[in-house]
Chain A
Amino acid sequence: MAQQLFTRDTQAIFWNNNKTAIQRMLDYDYTIKRETPSVAAIVAPTSGNKFEKFFFGPDEVMIPLFKTTADAKAAQPQADALLNFASFRTAYDVTMEALNLGGFKSIMITAEGIPERLARGMNEFARSKGVIVIGPATVGAITPGAFKIANIGGTIENIVNSKLHRAGSCGLVTRSGGLFNELSNIISINADGIAEGVAIGGDRFVGSVFIDNLLRMEQNPNVKYMLLLGEVGGVEEYKVIEAIKAGKLTKPIIAWCIGTIAKYYDSGVQFGHAGASANDERETADAKNAAMRKAGIHVPGSFNDIPEIISAVYHDLHAQGIIKDIKEPHMNICPKIRRSKEFICTISDDRGDEATYAGFPISSVATPDTGKGIGDVISLLWFKKQYPKWATDFIETVLKTVADHGPAVSGAHNAKVTARAGKSVVESLVTGLLTIGPRFGGAIDGAAKYFKYADDNGLDPKAFLKYMKGEGVPIPGIGHRIKSLKNPDLRVTGLMNYATEHFPSTPLLDYARTVEQLTTSKKENLILNVDGTIGILMVDMWRALGYSEKEINEFIESGTLNAFFIVGRSIGFIGHVLDEKRLAMPMYRHPMDDILYDVPVAEKI
């Protein structure tokens, strides 16, 4: 049997996106300086979101959302506590699914009023699987300094007041959630706080009962004495008495059963929880209190005398040296006022004396004496890294290379036509930019994607060609209108020479060259063109800079390669627009004789 319910590494899957309760858990985590949030995933069957934002101290963290427990468990297999916040209608199904999935050590169920027969079956099934069930109808459990379930302990201020942020020496077990909190407070005032606490739940049939929790606490070296708060109804307290008699419980126990008033009324008056109803004399609070007192348990005269008895037991154990003084740990303080941010910015900051690019003041990269160029600015603002000079020079080379390709290409043409319609520079520019896509400029993306795919999967050039044929697309980055190996594109030659000389290595380019050998053997102009070379060398650059293949794939998928083309070609487009303005060219109308008119009369349908 595990000695402790939870550790500082315990993580939970939270079933139902109960934001207040989850936030309370993360506030607790921050306060006790946990390294990981105690909630690893949230199951929200009807949500379309992928993440939910929460505060972690002053910062915010994203916790992933899943539609099913199975998905959440697959993504976060280390999370071995399920916090089942489903309603009484679905709580049973959620628990049974989790038990069948396996991998959970504990399941907490908050719903009150699960059908009794279902609850009994569920509790028994969990027991057979060795899973600790806390609840149903509970506020949860806590291992101070390690992990707390949902709302137990209340606000973070109350938690610190009640010393629930670090382990004390009492093991606390109650039925009631509200009185759990009250007793934590009383224990913190009269002793040194609790080492572990469980509110077992108010329903008639709960999973782990008093004795299960006390036996675990008996094994927990942090627990020096235990406090049990029972209620009228049921016979669970007698199991504790049996365990004491059998020598299975040896630590001092303080206990009290509430509901002594019930004896004055007939069974028609239901005091407290569903489980709180005496079916015979043995189940009354008075009988249980008397029996526990007889068994050597410290039983006060009334609830009001509990503080006194706690103080006495604690000081006795302290005097014996069994309980040592606790050095109060340092803790974080959660900021009182936090507002969730609408936007997140991780690249630049204009709040200080001088605005910065990824931490560098603009003046430190702007003027020529800084030795920094536009490649450095891009590396800071796009990638939040300081790239080495060979890489920033390469980026600049790319921008310069793609800056323009004459007035006839469709992007430049569109920009020119718009400028001649009397539109402004920005309007004309974006008309040109909007042309960029899969056919215009897109070959850079495509080349990087497909060549990288072939290289990653170890396809030889022949297999790659076959694969591309299967995809039904020409290989992006291969082919030129007029250039060939014999009549090379000097832009390409320049890029390749630079890379060969300055890159630490160029594995993807080397691979692409073997593909080029094969394609040019079929047709002379099927060379690696400038788009293909840029895409491929960008991948080689990132590889040499130490990015993982996953990160590089994300760059490709997010359109980062296209971005280089967009920035570079904007220079050319603006040039064409200014050219039109300078020439004051009139509105353009396409010559009609350049259009094939073929317009049949529409058929009636």
Chain B
Amino acid sequence: MRWIAVWRRNFLVWRKLLVASVLSNLADPLILLFGLGYGLGALLPSVAGMSYIAFFAAGTLCSATMFTASFESMFSGFSRMHGQKTWDAILYAPVTIDDVVAGEIVWAASKAWLSGATILAVAAAFGLAASPIVVMALPVAFLVGLAFAAVGLIMTVLAKNWDFFSFYMTLIMTPMTMISGVFFPAEQLPAPVLAVAQALPLYHGIELVRPLVAGSWPTSVPVHLAVLLAYAAAAYAIALYFARRRFSA
């Protein structure tokens, strides 16, 4: 259980920089949510049976969780691994690279969960998520965080420099955000594009969260959970493989 010490180290740093960290993780998604939600929402009577801002709040919850998890495991993780050599220092102790990888992924997922949970709280405070079953979105947010933290960490342990992350951000994350139903229902996309979205994790997170925000149970829950879990588990295994290769070769 030494990975908890790694998680705890990151938590303590986060706690020291609390205000700046929370602000930077929440300001962007909340501005976007209220700006687009009310601005664009005024033009749209309802989307998929709910107000546009409620529809968009569910998408924002998932995309903000995704971005927080990815930024933490990629940029902050790379800084700890490569810039500050924090991982090297940890590895002199009786902690293995497996513990470091696990600690980093769970940490990034925790931080991402907090982003998602805060957005949910704000949405609930504005009356956008009235039903109590919306709390079920909280474990989903953690799972979304785990999946993207693990995928992000693959990039980190493969990265030679900071530029490496722009490929993943620009070529994968940004298009995925567009097609996964954050801003508009993914079902209105052409079938091949929808199929791509369905092969990626963000879509499944949104499919689970959006009905919960609207106050109803999602459909095909096992499928959505399975895809998110599969991404988290597979990405964890791949990140571990490359981390071992990078550190113990």
Does A pair with B?
Answer: no
Instruction: Show the binding face of A for B, using Cβ within 8 Å.
Output: none
